[in-house]
Amino acid sequence: MSLKKKADVTLPSVEQVESELNKIKYRKRFVRTLINTLSVLIVVAAAAVLASTLLFPVVQVSGDSMKPTLNDGDILVTAKSNSVSYGDLCCVSWQNKMLLKRVIGKPGDVISIGNDGSVYVNDELIDEPYVIEKSMGKCDLTFPYEVPDNKYFILGDNRLLSVDSRNADIGCIGKEQIVGKVLFRIWPMNSTKGGTDSQ
């Protein structure tokens, strides 16, 4: 009886064995490729997060203090920089908030703001095409005002609403507070250069 049972067992053909081995090899290759792809994606994602955090912080505008240059909800890319120039839009850290303002004065500059809101740097009226409505705004400084050493005088473009260096609560900011200069706006895409502001 046992001999008969043994005789009924059929062995797989060489083609069937090769087919099964090929399936196993394919599965191993697929798993290896999947693991490699996921590893590359993780490395790319980590690099992107590091770049956006350390080199090119991405910020979102909150508020209206930079209108008409920037609008609430705009998303911007900034860049870490060791130097800022007049007129640069900079993302600034202040009391655990991120503000976006424009650099108006550097260390040692003498700032004056007239009753009509016109801004003078070292007795020269500066051209500000980005300001729609000039205003003294929320100002408690006495002019002329000299920018202290290692500090920068910053203003928002919406002079009526912006809380900035004109107000003693914020005052001039130190270089270490500058998170980055605005490079470009990524949303909405049809807009021009801008930055973030929560005041």
Per-residue model confidence as pLDDT tens digits over 33-50 = 888 888 778 877 766 665
- Give the model's pLDDT for residue 46: 67
Bridge partners of residue 60, in order along the sequence = 75
- Give the model's pLDDT for residue 192: 44
Q: Give the mean pLDDT of the chain.
A: 83
Question: Is there a catalytic annotation at residue 112?
Answer: no
Active-site pick, 67, 101, 151, 181: 101
Question: Is there a catalytic annotation at residue 191?
Answer: no
Amino acid letter for position 187:
W
* DSSP one-letter string for the chain: -HHHHHHH--PPPHHHHHHHHHHHHHHHHHHHHHHHHHHHHHHHHHHHHHIIIIIS-EEE--SSTTTTTS-TT-EEEEE--S---TT-EEEEEETTEEEEEEEEE-TT-EEEE-TT--EEETTEEPP-TT-SS----S----SSEEPPTTEEEEE-SSTTT--STTSTTT-SEEGGGEEEEEEEEEESTTS-S------
Cβ–Cβ under 8 Å, residues 162 and 199: yes
- Give the model's pLDDT for residue 75: 85
Per-residue model confidence as pLDDT tens digits over 135-153 = 998 899 999 999 999 999 9
pLDDT beneath 70: ranges in the chain: 1-8, 46-56, 189-199
Bridge partners of residue 124, in order along the sequence = 121
Active-site pick, 65, 67, 162, 165: 65
- Give the model's pLDDT for residue 102: 95
- Give the model's pLDDT for residue 55: 56
The percent of residues in the chain predicted with pLDDT above 70, rounded, is 84
φ, ψ dihedrals at 134, nearest 5°: -70, 145
- Give the model's pLDDT for residue 185: 78
